[in-house]
Amino acid sequence: MPHFPIILVWENCDPGIGAAVRKLQEVWRPYSMASRSKRIDRLIQQVIDPAVAAYAATLPPDLLHFLPGAGSGLSFSDICRLVGLNDAARLQRQLLRQFVSSHGVKTDQGRRFVATLETLLALTRACARKPPLTSRANGKQVDRDRIQDFCRYCGSPTELAAYANGRLESDPDETLQFSSLYCSRHRPKLPDGGWNPEHQRARRSAAQFDAELERLTRQAGNWREPCAGSGDWLVDCYLHHYVLKHRLRYGDTSELRDHARRMTDARLTDRKKQIVMLLRYGMSQSDAASVLGIQRQAVSKASASIPSVFWQLPSLPEYSTEFLLSGVARKPAAPR
């Protein structure tokens, strides 16, 4: 089965819209923007438009202009069709930011509105990335059921996916077999027949890559608080900062996989994430060692081995040394 993007229904989303999004994903397999008979914007019109209209009817007038199409005589699918799914996603992101800056999320209605807009944004972005079941490349039809979109070890398309999308040319002698599991960087063997060391390294670190990807994906679904589900408070805090720095969102499949690959290749262990967090907010190496129960020399050696890019994190106003230490003894946020 090909990899299709998963649409995240945010906690506190309007129940009607949440149910409509789940219904759409149950039946959307043959739909895409590339299909002639089963265009995904028509499916949005059938399933999502009624739920959005029903939700808009419950909103006060001052919120309607933050909901795409509401109050303008256009439906949600009309907006997607007129400007395209990618531009519709950018419009939704802009409207969401304007709402948060002008209204905030202090009320139950505000929190529900934000969760609903985030769900619609996730829907639009997923639909924009939804691949067709079949593709033509170099005059040949490729069955999408054979294709895994992303390389097993990173966010690049597999060779077969790249070929199906017209990004790779077929070998003149038809001796080159495109991989359905790996990109050209991570394929098991090189063109000359030798074993690929990049594949071997990625294979050895597959478990760590999977763990980093799962945590980043979970945290990308919630920018408000640490909730990566790593089992360690300081690690969750690090991933919270990292996701905000790179503005990663749930559904950014390629980007999330690439960042998980970078963390894995850089050997950014959980211990190193803990050290970055403690030192980032003003703690000395000796105090950090005391909190972590290790020697100061171990902190010094680990911190020196961390690439500078992983130190470059935003300063969040709610964070401080006291905030970090207050969570060390308690359980991290539960996975959502």
What are the angstrom distances between the C-alpha of 171 and each of 134, 152, 280? 21, 23, 51
Position 5 scores a pLDDT of: 61
The answer to whether 311 touches 268, Cβ cutoff 8 Å, is no
* Sign of the torsion formed by the C-alpha atoms of 56, 57, 60 and 65: positive
Residue 235, token pair as written in the block? 């690690």
Question: What is the pLDDT, as a whole number, of residue 89?
Answer: 85
Q: What does the pLDDT read at residue 145?
A: 46
The whole-angstrom separation of Cα 151 and Cα 240 is 25
The Cα angle at residue 209 between residues 228 and 214, in degrees rounded to 5: 30
Cα separation values, 319 from 139, 224, 258, 324, Å: 56, 12, 27, 7
Mean pLDDT by 10 residues, the chain (336 residues): 66 92 91 85 94 92 85 84 87 85 81 90 85 57 59 89 64 59 90 90 94 91 87 94 90 90 96 95 93 94 95 92 81 49
| Residue 303: HSE in the Cβ half-sphere, 13 Å Cα cutoff | 20
> Phi and psi for 32 in degrees, rounded to 5?
-170, 170
**DSSP per residue, 103-122:** H-S-SHHHHHHHHHHHHHHH
Report pLDDT for 303.
95
Cβ proximity of 69 and 76 under 8 Å: yes
Give CA–CA dist 232/329, Å, rounded: 10
3-state DSSP assignment of residue 309: helix
- Asked if 236 contacts 333 with a C-beta cutoff of 8 angstroms, the reply is yes
Helix axes 108-129, 15-27, angle to 10 degrees: 10
What pTM was estimated for this model as a whole? 0.65
Angle at 92 between CA 86 and CA 96, to 5 degrees: 150
Q: What is the pLDDT of residue 65?
A: 85
Per DSSP, what are the bridge partners of residue 150?
157
- Residue 55: phi, psi to the nearest 5? -70, -40
pLDDT tens-digit series, residues 54-110? 999 999 988 888 888 776 778 999 998 988 888 888 888 888 888 888 887 778 888
Distances (CA, A) of 335 to 27, 219, 283: 27, 9, 28
Q: What is the pLDDT of residues 102-150, one digit of tens each?
A: 887 778 888 899 889 989 988 998 888 777 766 554 444 454 445 577 8
Q: State residue 165's pLDDT score.
A: 64
* H-assigned helices in the chain: 15-27, 40-56, 61-64, 76-83, 85-103, 108-129, 159-164, 197-204, 206-220, 233-246, 253-265, 270-280, 285-292, 296-304, 321-328
Q: Smallest Cα–Cα separation from 119: which of 142, 89, 83, 99?
A: 89
